[in-house]
Amino acid sequence: MKNFLIYLAIFLILVMPVFSLAADDSLVPCNNNAGIVTNSDGTVTQPLACDFTAFMNLINKVIQFVLFSLAIPIAAIMFLYAGFLLVTAGGAETKTKAKGIFTNAVIGLALAAAAWLIVRTVLSILGFQGDWIGLPFINLP
């Protein structure tokens, strides 16, 4: 069973890039082409400049990925695991371990949220305006 799980994990790691859909929404949405870009359907668009805004959009995508695609699901899995341990605990040692996992998951989420809030506050104090400050759907005054 252990070998099967190891092979399954390796297979999923190797197959995951096929399903990632990374080509539709690129990590860096700019290019340094000097001329006009003609799309396959015949429309003409100006290339996006690789400037400070493009760099901040990259940082925003990385922050959103780490905070929402990694931290929250991992914390949910840890809550689930700790809850399972707590419900099936037979002794005090297992209950203590489960409570420690709960505590560490809450501390980890609080640290991730605090780090995001600190970055957003510092950027707002420095006067940067735009959707790339933290999350696009939260607007600070």
Tell the residue number behind the tokens 């252990």, with chain if given: 2
**Residue 33's Cα: distance from chain center in Å?**
29
Distance CA 26, CA 98 (A): 40
Q: Give domain status of residue 141, yes or no.
A: no
135 falls within a domain: no
pLDDT confidence of residue 116: 83
Instruction: Measure the CA–CA gap between 26 and 57, rounded to whole angstroms.
Output: 11
How far apart, in whole angstroms, are the C-alpha atoms of residue 59 and residue 129? 14
Question: Which residue range forms the structural domain that includes residue 63?
Answer: 2-125
pLDDT (0 to 100) of residue 140: 43
- Which uninterrupted H or E stretch holds 44? strand 44-45
Q: Does residue 131 lie in a domain region?
A: no
Predicted pLDDT of residue 137: 44
CA angle 81, 85, 89 (to 5 degrees): 175
In a domain, 133, yes or no: no
Count the domains in the chain: 1
6 occurs within a structural domain: yes
Judge whether 138 lies within some domain: no
Q: Are 15 and 8 contacting, i.e. CB atoms less than 8 angstroms apart? A: no
137 found inside a domain: no
Per-residue confidence in pLDDT tens, the chain, 141 aa: 788 888 888 888 877 766 665 545 566 667 665 456 566 676 666 666 777 777 777 777 777 778 878 888 889 999 999 999 889 888 888 889 999 999 999 999 999 889 888 877 887 787 766 655 555 444 444
CA–CA distances in Å: residue 17 to residues 25, 38, 93, 104, 124: 14, 28, 41, 31, 36
Q: What is the pLDDT of residue 101?
A: 92
CA 73, 78, 81, 84 torsion-angle sign: negative
Helix (H) or strand (E) holding 37, with range, is strand 37-38
Q: What is the pLDDT of residue 71?
A: 85
Half-sphere exposure of 31 (CA within 13 A, CB side): 9
Query: Is residue 130 assigned to a domain?
Result: no
